[in-house]
Structure 1
Amino acid sequence: ANDWPFGAALAVAVMLVILAVVLVVRSADRRFGSRT
């Protein structure tokens, strides 16, 4: 129970990183067109 704040912060950080990566990939996709 002591690790709860750290675990929650870690989970939020991981979620934000994944969200940022998805957004960057989508914007790059739109900018460079459908280049596989």
Structure 2
Amino acid sequence: MEYMFAMGLIPSVFLLIRQISSLVLYSENKKSSPT
């Protein structure tokens, strides 16, 4: 049971981390080169 839960949880956590990191990179790029 816990194994199935982890198998569903890990990909969603991975996607969340990717979204957050891309957001951080986007805001950093906007700060370093404002147009």
- Could you state the TM-score of these two structures normalised by the residue count of structure 2? 0.70
Structure 2: runs of 5 or more not aligned: none
Aligned match of 2:7:
8
- Quote the RMSD (CA, aligned, Å): 1.6
Instruction: Report 1 or 2 for greater relative contact order, CA contacts < 8 Å, sequence distance ≥ 6.
Output: 1
Q: When the two structures are aligned, how many residues end up with a matched partner? A: 33
- In the TM superposition, structure 1's runs of 4+ consecutive aligned residues that sit over 4 Å from their partners are none
Structure 1: runs of 5 or more not aligned: none
Structure with greater helix share of residues: 2
- Could you state the TM-score of these two structures normalised by the residue count of structure 1? 0.69
In the TM superposition, what is the alpha-carbon distance from 1:20 to its structure 2 partner? 0.6
